[in-house]
Structure 1
Amino acid sequence: MFLRTQHFRLVVLGILSTVLLGACSTMESTTENKEPLHTVTHVDIPKFMGDWYVIANIPTFVEEGATNAIESYSWNEKEQRIDVDFRYNKLTPEGELKKYPQKAWIYDKKTNAEWRVQPWWPLKFAYLVIDLAPDYSYTVIGVPSRKYVWIMARNSTLDKAVYQQILARLENLGYDISKIQKVPQVWFKK
């Protein structure tokens, strides 16, 4: 009986591993006939830490209906990683607060612009800083497949001309900008 149970567990684990690896490879692979995404030349990690308002994105299933989305980064010296706190209100500014803590590791230590982000164990996804304002007022994060993208800013609004320039650059990189959705940022003074 014990051997049957162990065998069953191994079969289930094998199936789950295959499904997860398939999902990861689909998400990580580059789009056919497109050059790989390139990151910015350098990210100053201490300067990058802090709050970033999600201005627009091609949302993952977790982010559907997000309002007031904020991604916060803090350097975890002990673990030599970045702790990520992603939070938003569901559907409306008064909606249920959703929180998704994550972990990130710097993958390319020469540029600090390519990370591996772990939303849930054992999954880790490539996280590429593909655009960054010289003053760190906005950033754009992409994934190799171009299936997702996040336009973020230090403030809850982004100048319309700057936003349009970002969209033009994303289109030149092979993103389908028709899939990019604005994330409502509606903050009330208390």
Structure 2
Amino acid sequence: MQNFFKTSLSCAAIICVSLFSSLSAQAEVSKPQAVSEIDIHQYVGQWYEIAHLPMYFQRNCASNTTANYTLNSDKTLGVLNSCRTKTGETISSQGVAYPQNVGMSQLKVSFLPAGLRWIPFTKGDYWILRVDPEYKVALVGGPSHKYLWILSRSPQIDEATYQSYLQTARQYGYDVTKLVRTAHPE
């Protein structure tokens, strides 16, 4: 009988430790959150895509993917995304980003023609999840985990910086094993 209680107590302790460990692991992953605010004047300009989650809209992009942002007079952002296809052709898509918060870190982006941008549910989330103080590297995604980009002001970033941004994405629950690194041949 005494062995039964010792065994039961040991099992209960193991179960408690396992439960605590799994709750701790879950606590490390949080929902994506945009930074509270950005300096839009530092954010505008050209960014190079370093990596992205595969998506339909970028299916023809093979290399040299960039995004160029401009501040419009109505406080929206002009967006010009460009890339090179496998055949070497440069393709681009022009859109508008609409601020969703005062800090301009949560945007909704539409690439529809201007006359169709009023249609509901046609804008994608563009949340700035992390940006370094000098606005040289940024992590962009949204609440759905469908989209994720690592952007840089230069075509290459060092591995330590890349790994640091991957870690932030992991903490927000993104599956970084699916990230595709973007080639920027010289």
Structure 1-normalised TM-score?
Answer: 0.75
The answer to whether the Cα contact below 8 Å between 2:30 and 2:171 also exists between their aligned partners in 1 is no
1:58 aligns with one of 30, 43, 53:
53
Quote the residue 2:101 is aligned against: 108
2:111 aligns with one of 119, 126, 150:
119
Gaps of 5+ in 2: 1-28
Identity percentage of aligned residues: 27
Q: CA deviation at 1:35?
A: 4.5
Structure 1 residues 77-122: Cα deviation after superposition (integer angstroms, max 9, x where no partner): 1x33100000010126xx111110010111101x210011112233
Alignment partners' CA distance in 1, 2:170 and 2:31: 14
Q: CA deviation at 1:162?
A: 0.4
Higher-Rg member (1/2): 2
Quote the residue 2:79 is aligned against: 84
Q: Secondary structure at the match of 2:48?
A: strand
Amino acid at match of 2:53: I
1:70 aligns with one of 44, 66, 72:
66
The answer to whether the Cα contact below 8 Å between 2:32 and 2:173 also exists between their aligned partners in 1 is no
CA RMSD of aligned residues (A): 1.4
Alignment partners' CA distance in 2, 1:50 and 1:138: 13
Amino acid at match of 2:64: N
Structure 2-normalised TM-score?
Answer: 0.77
The answer to whether the Cα contact below 8 Å between 2:31 and 2:173 also exists between their aligned partners in 1 is no
1:37 aligns with one of 28, 32, 36:
32
Extract structure 1 runs of 4+ deviating beyond 4 A.
none
Amino acid at match of 2:43: F
Alignment partners' CA distance in 1, 2:90 and 2:57: 13
Alignment partners' CA distance in 1, 2:62 and 2:123: 22
Gaps of 5+ in 1: 1-33
Alignment partners' CA distance in 1, 2:58 and 2:149: 11
Alignment partners' CA distance in 1, 2:69 and 2:125: 16
